[in-house]
Chains A and B, each alone.
Chain A
Amino acid sequence: MHDAWNWLSEPFQYVFMQRALLAVAMVSAVSAVIGAYVVLKGLAFIGDALAHASFAGVAAAFVLGGSVYLGAVIAAIATAMVIGYVSRRARLSLDTAIGIIFVGAFALGIVIISRQSNYTVDLFSFVFGNVLGVGWRDLLVIGVMAGVIIAIVVVFYKELLFYSYDPDMAAASGIPVRLLHYGLLALIAIAAVVALKAVGIVLVVAMLVTPAATAALLVRRLHLIMIGGALIGLASSIIGLYVSYYASVASGAAIVLVATFLFTLALFFSPKRGLLAAMRRPAEFYEVERQSARSPPPDLV
């Protein structure tokens, strides 16, 4: 018993682990709240794209010596707006617009950074994530961005619900859907940046999509998907941190793998929407099956 407690508490005796825990808690909450919209509106690709596009801002901030977060947010929001505009105006599918624009922004980031001779470890912590390297300043920035996002979603909850469920009807009712369209893209952009330091550009989309998708398999109300997604994200993060600590593996990847595992569990065992539930048949059906096995159907020919 004592050993188990030691095993559980040992990693969090370190301040860097405590900071990591705080960071993943906030990242989980924000990612689930925004991720619910991402999952329900099928915007996973956009989430991935905005995380990658933020690299241009990260790189520019490194070269110019500005705030990395500010650079990332500006690059991600700018990309979100361009994608939103091009997909509305040009006769291009949203998919294609995203595919073209985000790789452009990502390539711009690589070009900027390749001019610099000193690639720093810090830069790579944004690409691959390093939640164990989160400092107090990072926590403050993540906290402020997380607070702003959640406040906006709470205040405009009913408009966002109507817009994401039925944009045409919402527009007909006088809801400003264009503003909400761009607003939601901007929120996804900021949420992607919040999760950057925790799991890295490459894995941000997993934080946005996986916990919310897992929750959507278990509950069928928007706010419950948000709350459930946050709890699932938090559980994945904590378990992932233990795995990372005891198995000495990359923390971001460990968190994402745990989240993927939890999703797989829900996919099979969700009581209403799981694969096993889909294979279940009512009792009457089994009764008929049993009877027809006992007496084979008469020969018709």
Chain B
Amino acid sequence: MRLLPGKRSEQVPSDGAAVVVEDLWAGYGDRAALQGIDFEVPRASIVGLVGPNGSGKSTLIKVILGMHDAWRGRVRVFGRESRSVRRLIGYTPQTEMVDWEFPVTVHEVVTMGRFGRLGPLRWPTAVDRRVVQESMERMRLSDLANRQIGELSGGQQRRVLIARALAQEPQVLLLDEPMAGLDATIQHELLSLFQELRDEGKTLLVATHDLSCVSCCFDYALLINRRKVAYGRPDKVFTIELLDQAFESHLITLPLDGTFYVEHHGHA
């Protein structure tokens, strides 16, 4: 039973885009990492966020999360300021940003996904424990629940971060390079998980360097290099001209069996 009336911010409006970004500028000191970005992410879709290193992918994710302030422009998640709907936004950082030596278990890290909902002075309830169990089962972590996170393999560590985001029961997931450095089997598992989540109505924005994954399995591709280069269906975005423009060098793209294989080809 809820003693306080449900906060309006927790309710998801029934229509409209999941994420709207308008004329977004953001950066660090005198360096503009994002210059006038705008796009809309429809609900229940998977968007691949693609661009070279330093193109502003992580910054864009952090601004949408409300972790980094925008200089100008607007970010709306379900029509609201992201800080007021932060419970609805799940996030996984790049693995390099995480202290894997910290003495916490898999179960503790996944439980942290519930802390934002719980608020201060409240301990996890039966509901919280159930959601944590389900998130771990979904990411096949149940057998590893009591392991210290530093003892896990790279693929398992990635699954821990996603399980924590799922434990938050988010409507929007912002994933920063969740597939980098994983072997093909685990990548495929993750891709089918993303599609499952989309089919459940969740919206995913996934930063990645893997163009073939985006073109095979994602609904849209957002190509940026500080500015927006292109946004649309992957096959419309991943053209030689647009990719060259974004990566500021020559890439050879090989359309093969409906997916794109990209080869770097010297400097521009």
- The winner among B66, B103, B123 for most chain A CB atoms within 10 A is B103
Asked if B116 contacts A174 (CB within 8 A), the reply is yes
Check A173/B86 contact, CB under 8 A, given A40-B102, A222-B104: yes
Complex Cα–Cα for A216 and B103 (A):
8
Query: Can you give 27 A-B contacts (C-beta < 8 A)?
Result: A40-B103, A155-B121, A156-B120, A158-B115, A158-B123, A159-B120, A161-B104, A161-B112, A162-B115, A166-B93, A169-B112, A170-B115, A172-B89, A173-B86, A173-B112, A173-B115, A173-B116, A173-B168, A174-B87, A174-B116, A175-B116, A216-B103, A219-B103, A220-B148, A221-B104, A222-B104, A225-B103
From residue 60 to 98 of chain B, which have CB atoms closer than 8 A to chain A? 65-67, 86-87, 89, 91, 93, 97-98
Please name the residue on chain B nearest to A171 by beta carbon: B67
For the complex of A and B, list the 8 residue pairs with the smallest distance between their C-beta atoms, beginning with the closest. Answer: A173-B116, A220-B103, A174-B116, A220-B148, A165-B102, A174-B86, A172-B65, A162-B112
Contact with A along B143-156 (1 / 0, CB 8 A): 00000100000000
Number of A-B residue pairs, CB cutoff 8 Å, is 65
Q: Does B259 have its Cβ within 8 Å of any Cβ on chain A?
A: no
Asked if A169 contacts B93 (CB within 8 A), the reply is yes
Check A165/B91 contact, CB under 8 A, given A172-B86, A221-B103: no
Q: Does B105 have its Cβ within 8 Å of any Cβ on chain A?
A: yes
Asked if B99 contacts A166 (CB within 8 A), the reply is yes
- The winner among B91, B98, B99, B112 for most chain A CB atoms within 10 A is B112
Asked if B97 contacts A168 (CB within 8 A), the reply is yes
Complex Cα–Cα for A156 and B115 (A):
11
Residues of chain B contacted by A159 (CB below 8 angstroms)? 115, 120
Residues of chain A contacted by B108 (CB below 8 angstroms)? 161
**Residues of chain A having any CB pair with chain B under 8 Å:** 40, 155-156, 158-159, 161-162, 164-166, 168-175, 216, 219-222, 224-225
Asked if B104 contacts A165 (CB within 8 A), the reply is yes
Residues of chain A contacted by B102 (CB below 8 angstroms)? 40, 164-166
Please name the residue on chain A nearest to B61 by beta carbon: A172
Complex Cα–Cα for A158 and B91 (A):
19
Complex Cα–Cα for A168 and B67 (A):
8
Complex Cα–Cα for A155 and B108 (A):
17
User: Chain A contact residues: over half helix, strand or loop, or mixed?
Assistant: helix
Asked if A168 contacts B116 (CB within 8 A), the reply is no
Residues of chain A contacted by B113 (CB below 8 angstroms)? 173
Whole-angstrom distance from the CB of A148 to the nearest CB of chain B?
17
Check A172/B103 contact, CB under 8 A, given A159-B115, A162-B115, A220-B148: no
Determine which of A158, A162, A165, A173 lies in contact with B99 in the assembled complex, contact meaning CB atoms within 8 Å: A165
- The winner among A40, A162, A219 for most chain B CB atoms within 10 A is A162
Residues of chain A contacted by B112 (CB below 8 angstroms)? 158, 161-162, 165-166, 169-170, 173
Complex Cα–Cα for A40 and B66 (A):
27
Residues of chain B contacted by A175 (CB below 8 angstroms)? 115-116
Residues of chain B contacted by A168 (CB below 8 angstroms)? 67, 93, 97
- The winner among A155, A165, A172 for most chain B CB atoms within 10 A is A172
Complex Cα–Cα for A171 and B82 (A):
13
Please name the residue on chain A nearest to B108 by beta carbon: A161
Complex Cα–Cα for A159 and B103 (A):
15
Please name the residue on chain A nearest to B89 by beta carbon: A172
Contact with A along B108-135 (1 / 0, CB 8 A): 1100110110101101000000000000
Whole-angstrom distance from the CB of B59 to the nearest CB of chain A?
13
Whole-angstrom distance from the CB of A157 to the nearest CB of chain B?
9
Residues of chain B contacted by A40 (CB below 8 angstroms)? 102-103
Residues of chain B contacted by A220 (CB below 8 angstroms)? 103, 148
Known: A159-B120, A169-B112, A222-B103; 8 extra A-B contacts, CB below 8 A, are A156-B120, A158-B118, A164-B102, A168-B67, A169-B91, A172-B65, A172-B86, A174-B87
Residues of chain A contacted by B105 (CB below 8 angstroms)? 221
Complex Cα–Cα for A164 and B148 (A):
16
Residues of chain B contacted by A172 (CB below 8 angstroms)? 65-67, 86, 89, 91
